[in-house]
């Protein structure tokens, strides 16, 4: 699974952005998996994620945690804004030994350190090679830093631009703007805490 892999930004910005994803493998462990996905979310919730979600339900910014857990069916996600929480969640998942694959996205060296602290090591590593083609047609980097936090492209560029203008005009706070964006990423991998900081940065940029 690589839809959490292509988040853009500086090392400083990405140091507050980690996604844990649990999924089944068709034909391998795709029976009786729903209780395992639900337990994954319960374990992650003990470590204060900034967002959780499931592709078949939605995110923490649309539903209560117990509603998401009750309706979890597909790939399931939790987003954290610090490595200590990631380590804690990984320790809990190791102890639970649920038998489903867990993908951790984030700065590689930091993720590896979290795994080591949890008594784990990575099985496979994927790296994003960036965007190829007519990159001059892409939005500015400060917009892409926000939109790429939704791996299925559900955060519209023009919505981000409009919200930045709302911030500049004082009609919305950064937190309110982030709350507008977050539910559009129905998997729940959007990081509203990081989005808040990025919106402030983009709004303060000189024309």
Q: pLDDT tens-digit profile of 80-109?
A: 999 999 999 999 999 999 999 999 999 999
Q: pLDDT tens-digit profile of 22-57?
A: 988 887 887 889 999 999 999 999 999 999 999 889
State how far the alpha carbon of 9 is from the alpha carbons of 72, 143, 150, 184, 203, in Å: 30, 10, 14, 20, 16
pLDDT of residue 1: 54
Stretch 61-81: mean pLDDT, rounded? 94
Q: Does domain 11-117 have CATH number 3.30.519?
A: no
Query: pLDDT-derived band of residue 76, with 50, 70 and 90 as boundaries?
Result: very high
- Of 55, 113, 61, 103, the C-alpha closest to 82 is 113
Torsion sign over Cα 62, 69, 84, 126: negative
Pair of tokens at residue 192: 């509203």
Q: What percentage of the chain exceeds 90 in pLDDT?
A: 83
Q: pLDDT tens-digit profile of 143-164?
A: 999 999 999 999 999 999 999 9
State how far the alpha carbon of 40 is from the alpha carbons of 92, 193, 205, in Å: 9, 22, 39
Lowest mean pLDDT across 97-101, 125-129, 166-170? 125-129
pLDDT of residue 60: 93
Query: pLDDT-derived band of residue 131, with 50, 70 and 90 as boundaries?
Result: confident
**Helix (H) or strand (E) run with residue 63 in it:** none
- Mean pLDDT of all residues belonging to the chain: 94
Stretch 69-90: mean pLDDT, rounded? 95
Domain range annotation of the chain: 11-117, 135-196
């Amino acid at each position: 699974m690589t839809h959490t892999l292509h988040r853009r930004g500086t090392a400083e910005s990405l140091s507050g952005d980690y996604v844990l994803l649990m999924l089944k493998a068709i034909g391998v462990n795709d029976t009786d998996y729903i209780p395992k996905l639900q337990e994954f979310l319960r374990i992650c919730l003990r470590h204060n994620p900034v967002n959780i979600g499931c592709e078949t339900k939605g995110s923490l910014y649309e539903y209560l945690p117990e509603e998401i857990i009750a309706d979890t069916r597909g790939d399931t996600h939790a987003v954290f804004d610090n490595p200590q929480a990631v380590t804690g969640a990984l320790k809990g998942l190791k102890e639970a030994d649920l038998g489903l694959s867990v993908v951790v996205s984030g700065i590689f060296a930091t993720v590896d350190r979290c795994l080591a602290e949890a008594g784990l090591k990575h099985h496979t590593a994927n790296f994003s090679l960036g965007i190829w083609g007519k990159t001059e047609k892409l939005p500015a980097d400060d917009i892409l830093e926000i939109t790429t936090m939704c791996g299925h492209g559900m955060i519209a560029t023009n919505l981000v631009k409009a919200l930045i203008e709302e911030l500049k005009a004082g009609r919305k706070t950064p937190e309110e703007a982030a709350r507008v964006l977050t539910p559009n990423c129905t998997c729940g991998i959007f990081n509203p805490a990081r989005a808040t900081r990025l919106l402030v940065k983009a709004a303060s940029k000189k024309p």
